[in-house]
């Protein structure tokens, strides 16, 4: 019997009514002949509430106890989902992470999955259970303590189970009906993409698209897990629904650009007049990494008289960390620069498409489109299937709309 993994996010299990709707979708797949592993998130808002309680109790908290508290939201949802399925006449039971067991590293709050032995689940299915409802986001560390995988970790849990069980596919049910060419709230002609490659989805996820957690896409790509994103708020669960994330095929290259992503919470930091010498990049970005600053775009200006400017982007809420790290280096005499200039009013806009590999001039066309709209580009980075630019935040939506129109993404399917 084939196996299927179905994951339901917080909005899809927000209350008992939504859990009942989700359970009916599970029942349809059972009726289609699948053994189903259901991965559930905590009810919408519950994790934030639990995190708030932890921080109110102990501002400098024990991270292991944090995991013990915040993982409880998924346990509640799993039990309620299993009971709902039982009321529908489907033999189901709930599983917490330690019961499976989902084995992780010991990095509390940000553990990584190491192994999912399937013996217990296999025995459960062999005994007649049709559905295993697993609490997402959580596992068990080497010391036997509960761990959590970081926010959005239920997506990663679902893909990991699909890989471990050699599932037919992994369906991610959420509050949107698929992956769009860009945010429909900005561009009303944005179109749902029927099929997208792992690489494109990974770029879109890392560049600001919030539909799938980046780690889950990385895992799906590594283990070639067919991944589908679809809405829990619509009745259609047939294979024509949602967006499939799959291995790249020839038809994908015919679409030069597949999507436009953006991230508005960006900042630009420039170290003015630093020494242009071997090791200067390591001297700057090593301490930034140690300070937990997530550096993205990096540009080094042409050297003049042995001095150069080093510019990078990072999330706007990490600017203070970056400033503290750089100023500490200057105070200690480890790094000399004339000025530390920051700009918190920028945004990143990116074009993604596997067809860019085989089509020359796409970056130039992008730059011309933005120039025609009077949008000044502050920083540029590229890869084989992506071009990203940093622009003034006030022009972000204009840039997204202009690029979507210029590359006729309303025709992408």
The dihedrals phi and psi of 361, each to the nearest 5 degrees, come to 85, 5
Domain(s) labelled CATH 3.30.2130.10 in the chain stretch across 260-411
Mean pLDDT for back-to-back runs of 10 residues, the chain (413 residues): 94 97 97 97 95 93 96 98 98 98 95 96 97 97 96 93 96 91 91 90 77 88 94 87 84 75 93 91 94 90 83 93 94 91 95 84 93 95 90 96 93 69
The pLDDT assigned to 392 comes to 96
Q: What is the pTM of this model?
A: 0.83
The pLDDT assigned to 250 comes to 55
Q: Exposure of 121 by Cβ count < 10 A (0-12 exposed, 13-18 middle, 19+ buried)?
A: buried
- The binding site for substrate consists of 47, 74
- Multiple choice CATH, 3-175, 3.40.1160.10, 3.90.230.10, 3.90.1150.10, 3.10.450.50: 3.40.1160.10
Rounded Cα–Cα distance for residues 146 and 32 (Å) = 35
pLDDT one-digit tens code per residue, 236-280: 888 888 999 988 775 555 678 889 999 998 999 999 999 988 999
pLDDT one-digit tens code per residue, 30-52: 999 999 999 999 999 999 999 99
Going by C-beta distance under 8 Å and a sequence separation of 6 or more, which residues neighbour residue 135? 40, 71, 74, 75, 77, 78, 94, 95, 96, 97
* Exposure class string for 306-329: b at 16+ Cβ within 10 A, else e: eebbbbbbbbbebbebbeebbeeb
The pLDDT assigned to 208 comes to 61
The yes/no answer on whether domain 260-411 falls in CATH 3.30.2130.10 is: yes
- The binding site for ATP consists of 7-10, 174-175, 180, 185, 210-211
Domain(s) labelled CATH 3.40.1160.10 in the chain stretch across 3-175
Give the three-state DSSP class for 221.
helix
The H-or-E segment that residue 49 falls in is helix 46-57
The pLDDT assigned to 358 comes to 74
- The binding site consists of 7-10, 47, 74, 174-175, 180, 185, 210-211
């Amino acid at each position: 019997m084939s196996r299927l993994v179905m994951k339901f996010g917080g909005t899809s299990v927000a209350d008992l009514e939504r859990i009942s709707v989700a359970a009916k979708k599970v029942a349809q797949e059972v009726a289609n002949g699948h053994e189903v592993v259901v991965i559930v998130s905590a009810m919408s808002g519950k994790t934030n509430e639990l995190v708030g309680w932890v921080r109110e109790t102990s501002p400098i908290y024990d991270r292991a106890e944090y995991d013990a508290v915040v993982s409880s939201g998924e346990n509640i949802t799993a039990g309620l989902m299993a009971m709902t399925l039982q009321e529908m006449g489907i033999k189901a039971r709930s599983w917490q992470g330690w019961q499976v067991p989902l084995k992780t590293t010991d990095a509390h709050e940000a553990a990584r999955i190491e192994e999912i032995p399937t013996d217990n689940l296999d025995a459960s299915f062999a005994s007649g259970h049709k559905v295993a409802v697993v609490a997402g986001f959580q596992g068990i560390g080497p010391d036997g303590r509960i761990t959590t995988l970081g926010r959005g970790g239920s997506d990663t849990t679902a893909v990991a189970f699909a890989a471990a069980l050699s599932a037919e596919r992994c369906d991610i049910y959420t509050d949107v009906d698929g992956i769009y060419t860009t945010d429909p709230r900005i561009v009303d002609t944005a179109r749902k993409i029927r099929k997208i490659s792992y690489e494109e989805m990974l770029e879109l996820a890392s560049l600001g698209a919030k539909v799938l957690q980046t780690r889950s896409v990385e895992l799906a790509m590594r283990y070639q897990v067919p991944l589908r994103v679809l809405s829990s708020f619509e009745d259609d669960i047939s294979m024509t629904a949602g967006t499939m994330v799959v291995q790249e095929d020839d038809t994908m290259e015919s679409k030069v650009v597949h999507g436009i992503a953006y991230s508005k919470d960006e900042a630009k930091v420039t170290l003015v007049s630093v020494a242009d010498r071997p090791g200067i990049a390591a001297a700057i970005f090593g301490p930034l990494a140690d300070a937990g600053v997530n550096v993205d775009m990096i540009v080094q200006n042409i050297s003049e008289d042995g001095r150069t400017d080093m510019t990078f982007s990072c999330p706007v809420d990490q600017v203070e960390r970056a400033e503290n790290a750089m100023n500490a280096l200057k105070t200690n005499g480890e790094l000399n620069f004339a000025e530390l200039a920051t700009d918190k009013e920028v945004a990143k806009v990116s074009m993604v498409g596997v067809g860019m590999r085989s089509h020359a001039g796409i970056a130039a066309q992008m730059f011309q489109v933005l120039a025609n709209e009077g949008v000044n580009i502050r920083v540029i980075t590229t890869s084989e299937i992506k071009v990203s630019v940093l622009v003034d935040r006030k022009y972000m939506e204009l840039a997204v709309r202009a690029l979507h129109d210029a590359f006729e993404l309303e025709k992408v399917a």
